[in-house]
Amino acid sequence: MLRLAVALGALLLAVSALAAEIPRAERRSGYDFMSRETRAMQDEDTANPGMLWVLEGGALWSRKTGAAGRACADCHGDARVSMKGVAARHPAFDAARGRPVSLEQRINACRVERQQAPALAHESRELLALTAFVARQSRGLPIDVTIDARTQPFLDAGRALWERRQGQLNLACRQCHDDNWGRRLAGSMIPQAHPTGYPLYRLEWQGMGSLQRRFRNCLIGVRSEPYEYGDPALVDLELYLMWRARGMLMDAPAVRP
């Protein structure tokens, strides 16, 4: 009897694990859940407020800074060529740190080590502008993070965080975004949480924000204590979500409600 119960339990677990992941054909970007007006805003470069940050990032790209007196462009040249697809590959493994780093961390590493300039604060206007400018160069390209023996443990950690219930509401990310996407939470559509367009302009924020800002929003929403910006746990979660959205097309800088 006990053995039967254990077997049944295992079967149920297997079924729920299968039900958890969204089949590839059913994956939809947050863009598909938006109103016609908000889509029009994203689609046109002169109406998309995210492009203001891209414009500023383009100016920062060629401005010399730091003790080394070097600009991003001095090493990387034309971003349209050198930065093409870079955002679609991040978080990427960094040998020096022995773990995957986010695009923001990569930019800051370059600033500190190559330009010898102070690191930019998370969510600062400059860091968002540079990230948006770099991410813009990947628009229309498929998300393609590398999962190998080095990154697998971090992917697993990210997935564990995604599936872990937390906060006073005792909710896991998965319960909304895998199991209940397309339904409504207090009047708002629950999207599938594919990070195709970060950093993005959120109308609610009236500004630009990173994926980690979005994570912290959700964590506060379930009344758990949010991780600090740059916390390794958040980068692992970024890696898991990018892997989950593998093959989907980048649309940064996106506009979301």
Partner 1 sequence: MAETLISVPPRARRGEIVEIKTLISHPMETGYRRSQLGARIPRDIIRLFVCTYGGAEVFRAELHPAIAANPFITFSTVATESGTLTFHWTGDNGFSVKETAEIRVE
Residue 234 CA to residue 215 CA, distance in Å, equals 8
Q: How far is CA 177 from CA 44, 162, 163, in A?
A: 28, 10, 11
Checking DSSP bridges between strand 184-185 and strand 188-189, what pairing results, if any? antiparallel
For residue 49, state whether it binds partner 1 (rule: CB under 8 A). Answer: yes
State the number of binding residues for partner 1 (CB under 8 A): 13
Q: Which stretch binds partner 1 (CB under 8 A): 53-61, 66-74, 140-148, 229-237?
A: 53-61
Out of 187, 206, 225, 247, point to the residue binding partner 1 (CB under 8 A).
206
Out of 52, 92, 119, 190, point to the residue binding partner 1 (CB under 8 A).
52
For residue 56, state whether it binds partner 1 (rule: CB under 8 A). Answer: yes
Residue 61 CA to residue 57 CA, distance in Å, equals 6
DSSP one-letter code for 190: -
Active site residue 218: yes
Render the burial of 149-174: b for 16+ CB within 10 Å, e for the rest.
Answer: eebeebbebbbebbeeeebeeebbbb
- Closest by CA position to 233, among listed 111, 224, 170: 224
SS3 of residue 256 by DSSP: strand
For residue 71, state whether it binds partner 1 (rule: CB under 8 A). Answer: no
For residue 55, state whether it binds partner 1 (rule: CB under 8 A). Answer: yes
Q: Which is nearer to partner 1, 55 or 218 (CB)?
A: 55
Q: Which is nearer to partner 1, 32 or 45 (CB)?
A: 45
**Would you state the torsion angle of the CA atoms of residues 95, 100, 104, 110, taken in this order, to the nearest 10 degrees?**
0
Tokens in use for 20? 């958890």
Q: Which stretch binds partner 1 (CB under 8 A): 14-22, 48-56, 63-71, 241-249?
A: 48-56
Q: Which is nearer to partner 1, 56 or 104 (CB)?
A: 56
Out of 203, 220, 223, 228, point to the residue binding partner 1 (CB under 8 A).
203
Residues taking part in catalysis? 218
Contacting residues toward partner 1, per CB under 8 A: 44-47, 49, 51-53, 55-56, 203, 206-207
